[in-house]
Structure 1
Amino acid sequence: MATPVVPPTLTTAERSIEARVRVILARLPRRGPGAWLTEFLVFGLKQAWACVFGGAMLAVIVAARLWYPTEAALARNDALTIAAVAIQVAMVAGRLETLRELRVVVLFHLVGTVMELFKTEVGSWSYPPDGLLRVGAVPLFSGFMYAAVGSYLVRVHRLFDLRFARYPRRWVTALLAVAIYANFFTNHYVTDVRWLLVGAVAVVFGRCVMHFRVFRLRWRMPLLLAFLLVAFFIWLAENIATWSHAWLYPSQLDGWHTVSPSKLASWFLLMIISVVLVTWISPPQPPDDRPSTTPTAT
């Protein structure tokens, strides 16, 4: 088996944490079921670490739903915004995100906020009307939920040392991202072409295979499968957030119910925009040629 490698793109704080954890994990079995269990454990830990921004945001939203006093002088939406800013500052100050990566997170934040302004105006969903820290009907914390998706993608890229075989040309992916973003607006006035765009994503990214390192082994997975899995977990988080009344769809105003599975397509497409933004600071790299056992994720 290959010697565990610390990805060179980790931040200073993450390199320190990984080096210490690696010393402990290196004592675990190198072959047999124990080795596979180690890979599974490390995969889960790294995914949780990559989700730290989104997890912290979701925890704050749930806590506000359960315990925030209704008579508090500070509106709940404003408290969520202040908490979101504090989380973002802590991410940078704690060297969990670099200033270079922060550019992508902020840009996706702005992209999401512009769409929020439009979607709330046309009634696609709504937020509680309290609070001063808002633009129109959109509380400022909403943009941080998009930022959490961007944060996850930039962090997972370096934590797993992602490499890509047959990645499409970036100008093609950029045009696709622009078309996806435009459709979120135009679908209220002309034909919604989201399923056509889903098909276009399948064509553009269909041949691409993602290579990633967990601990001792490098693995590979069809990139489209990775997109689907991430979209599914975002949809689960959306269900938790709407249950917490962070925002509500029109059909949920008279009583909460799970978000329609059709929203998976929306999150799948929105995630493509974030992926394209991430390639702005981290151009996709081909798999390296170091010998390694490379299982296939199916």
Structure 2
Amino acid sequence: MKQLFYFGLAQAKACIFPIIIFLTLAVTKIIDIPFLHRYDLILLVCIITQMLMLALKLETMDELKVIGVFHLIGLALEIYKVHMGSWSYPEEAFTKFLGVPLYSGFMYASVASYMCQAWRRLDLKLVKWPPTWIVMFLSAAIYFNFYTHHFILDFRWLLKLLTIILFYHTFVYFTVRKRTYAKPLSLSFILIGFFIWVAENIATFLGAWSYPNQQRQWEIVHFGKVSSWLLLVIVSFLIVAMLKHLKQTKGNLH
């Protein structure tokens, strides 16, 4: 139980960025600032948080680069999905681009921030990592399926099956107070996807965005969204893992 407590504490510390976003959503839901739109204020808080985390060395410059990549990837997906009517951002804002507030990219960036933080705090190590080129191909296929399923077949279940096959022998090792544990990487994907779905319910309740069935009153997000988040988590984790793996390989060469 003591180890579980310290594991939870490490996870909570890794969630600094997401926690601040949720607190901002909650506070701005209750308190109305007349001279500043809510979405603009959230963006300002996200930028300040990112700068402080870098200044206080809670994140490294390399991690900031990874987070920046996720910000752009997430923002591009948001613009497309809003255009297709998958969800919407009903409130006004000066910092809206094609119907999407710029703070939305930070929600994706916060997932990358969590992964980078957890990787460092728990000293993650991957065993039996598959060939990098295959991982890159799978990541690209998963990401672009979010776009193409509106026009052609949805291959998410095939992609999930390929992920299980590819990472069947891959384990992630993590350390809590000098004791090392292991679990299948696929299980990590499922757990992170589930908790992001829980976070998504909180975020939509606080008005971060709205699905079509939530326009009149809030409803719980369909549990099937877990599968979408699971796939997005896979893309996020694989990009972070590839960068960490390449950096570790480069370090070993030196």
- TM-score range for the pair, normalised by the shorter chain length: over 0.9
Q: Which residue in 1 is equivalent to 2:201? A: 239
Bigger CA drift: 252-261 or 117-126? 252-261
User: Which consecutive segments of 4 or more residues in structure 1 shift more than 3 A?
Assistant: none
C-alpha deviations, 1:97-147, integer Å up to 9, x for none? Answer: 001111100001100000100000010000024011121100010000000
Q: Which residue in 2 is equivalent to 1:106? A: 68
Q: Is residue 23 of structure 2 the alignment partner of residue 59 of structure 1? A: yes
Q: Which residue in 2 is equivalent to 1:45? A: 9
Aligned with 2:112 (options 135, 147, 150): 150
Q: Which residue in 1 is equivalent to 2:150? A: 188
C-alpha deviations, 1:228-273, integer Å up to 9, x for none? Answer: 1111111111000000111000011121111111111111111111
Q: Which residue in 2 is equivalent to 1:68? A: 32
Aligned partners of 2:70 and 2:109 also within 8 Å? yes
Aligned partners of 1:180 and 1:197 also within 8 Å? yes
The secondary structure found in structure 1 opposite 2:245 is coil
Q: Is residue 164 of structure 2 the alignment partner of residue 208 of structure 1? A: no
Aligned partners of 2:132 and 2:242 also within 8 Å? no
The secondary structure found in structure 2 opposite 1:113 is helix
Q: Which residue in 1 is equivalent to 2:252? A: none
Bigger CA drift: 192-201 or 45-54? 192-201
Q: Which residue in 2 is equivalent to 1:123? A: 85
CA distance in 2 between counterparts of 1:275 and 1:140 reads 23
Structure 1 residue 283, shift from structure 2 partner: 0.5
Structure 1 residue 38, shift from structure 2 partner: 2.1
CA distance in 1 between counterparts of 2:163 and 2:211 reads 27
List runs of 5+ in structure 1 lacking aligned partners: 1-36, 287-298
CA distance in 2 between counterparts of 1:144 and 1:47 reads 19
CA distance in 2 between counterparts of 1:124 and 1:87 reads 29
Q: Which residue in 2 is equivalent to 1:85? A: 47
Q: Which residue in 1 is equivalent to 2:127? A: 165
Q: Is residue 190 of structure 2 the alignment partner of residue 228 of structure 1? A: yes
Q: CA RMSD in A?
A: 1.4
CA distance in 2 between counterparts of 1:280 and 1:97 reads 18
CA distance in 1 between counterparts of 2:96 and 2:245 reads 35
C-alpha deviations, 1:180-235, integer Å up to 9, x for none? Answer: 11100001111111111111111111211111101131101111111111111111
CA distance in 2 between counterparts of 1:277 and 1:128 reads 32
In the superposition, the TM-score normalised over structure 2's length comes to: 0.94
Structure possessing the higher relative contact order (Cα contacts under 8 Å, 6 or more residues apart): 1
Structure 1 residue 152, shift from structure 2 partner: 0.6
Q: Is residue 132 of structure 2 the alignment partner of residue 132 of structure 1? A: no
Q: Which residue in 2 is equivalent to 1:32? A: none
Aligned partners of 1:128 and 1:246 also within 8 Å? no
Aligned partners of 1:210 and 1:223 also within 8 Å? yes
Equivalent pairs, count: 248
C-alpha deviations, 1:60-113, integer Å up to 9, x for none? Answer: 1111112234xx121111111111111111111110000111110000110000
List runs of 5+ in structure 2 lacking aligned partners: 250-254
Q: Which residue in 2 is equivalent to 1:266? A: 228
